[in-house]
Structure 1
C-alpha cells in the first residue's frame, strides 16, 4: 500500500509542512516520488517514519535523528552504532520520565492539600511560615500584602 503526504500527515497528526521539513533535513531519504513528483510512502516507510516521530517526541534532536537514519540507510553493518545511539537516548528518556514522575508527585501533593477539608487553614499556616521566614532574613514578604 502507498500513502500520500496528506495521508501520512493525518495518520501521525502532524502537518504536511513538518513532513517536508523532515525531508529537507535529511530524515526521509527512503521516501520515493511517483512519476508526477509526489512523495509516495510505503508501509515500510511508515514504519521508519513512526520511529522518527517517536525519537522526535522523546526529545531527540533533528541532527541525532539524521545520524540514526543515515545509519539505517547504511544497512545491517551499523547495528552496533544504532544500538549505542538508541541506548544513550533511552537513558535520556528514562531520566525525563523520572523527572516527570517527581513533578507529578509534587502536583499530587498540592492537589491533596487543596482537597483537604482543612485546605484554608493549611494554606494560611504556609503563608504565615513563609512570611516569618522572609521577615527573619530581613526580606519583604509578598504575602504581607495578603
Structure 2
C-alpha cells in the first residue's frame, strides 16, 4: 500500500513540513516518487521514519542521521559502522538520563524543602532538622550533592 506525505504525516505524528525537511536533508533516500514526482511512502518506510524521529529525539544530528540512513541503503557491509554509531549514541543517551535523574532529584529535594517550609511557615525550619527528620532519599541526594560541591571547592 502507498501513502502520500499527508497520510504518512498523520500516521506517524510528524508534520508534513518536517518530512519535507528530512527529504531535503537526504534522510529518506528510500522513499519512492510517482510519475508526477510526488513522494509515495510504503508500509516498509514506517520503520526508518520512526528511526529518524527517535534518533533525532536522542540528540543525534541531522548529519549523523543522514550518514546512518546512507549506511542502511548500502547494505550489510556497513553493519559494523551502524553498530558503533548506536553504541556511541547509547552512551550519550545514558549520560543524558543520568543528568536528567539528577535534575529530577534536585527538584524533588526543593519540593520537599518548600513543602516543609510552608507547613512551618518559614524556611528557617530546616536549620533545626536532624538527619533523621529528613526523608532517606532526600537526605542521600542532599549529601551526595554536598559532597560533590565541597570536593570541588577544595
Q: Using structure 1 for the length normalisation, give the TM-score.
A: 0.79
SS at match of 1:41: strand
Match of 1:69 in 2: 69
Match of 1:17 in 2: 17
User: Structure 1 residues 82 and 113 mapped into 2: Cα distance closer, same or farther (>3 Å)?
Assistant: same
Moved more, 31-40 or 63-72: 31-40
Deviation track 1:13-61 (CA, whole Å, cap 9, x = no partner) reads 2221111111111100000012232111112111111101000011100
**Quick one: distance in 2 between partners of 1:122 and 1:12?**
48
SS at match of 1:40: strand
Match of 1:46 in 2: 46
1:123 deviation in Å? 6.0
Match of 1:121 in 2: 122
**Quick one: distance in 2 between partners of 1:78 and 1:53?**
21
Moved more, 39-48 or 56-65: 39-48
Query: Do structure 1's residue 4 and structure 2's residue 1 form an aligned pair?
Result: no
Structure 2: which 5+ runs fail to align?
A: 128-154
Structure 1: which 5+ runs fail to align?
A: 127-146
Q: Which runs of 4+ in 1 moved over 4 A?
A: 123-126
Moved more, 83-92 or 2-11: 2-11
SS at match of 1:27: coil
User: Structure 1 residues 28 and 113 mapped into 2: Cα distance closer, same or farther (>3 Å)?
Assistant: same
Deviation track 1:108-129 (CA, whole Å, cap 9, x = no partner) reads 11111222222x4226878xxx
Query: Do structure 1's residue 78 and structure 2's residue 78 form an aligned pair?
Result: yes
Deviation track 1:76-110 (CA, whole Å, cap 9, x = no partner) reads 11101100011101100110011001000011111
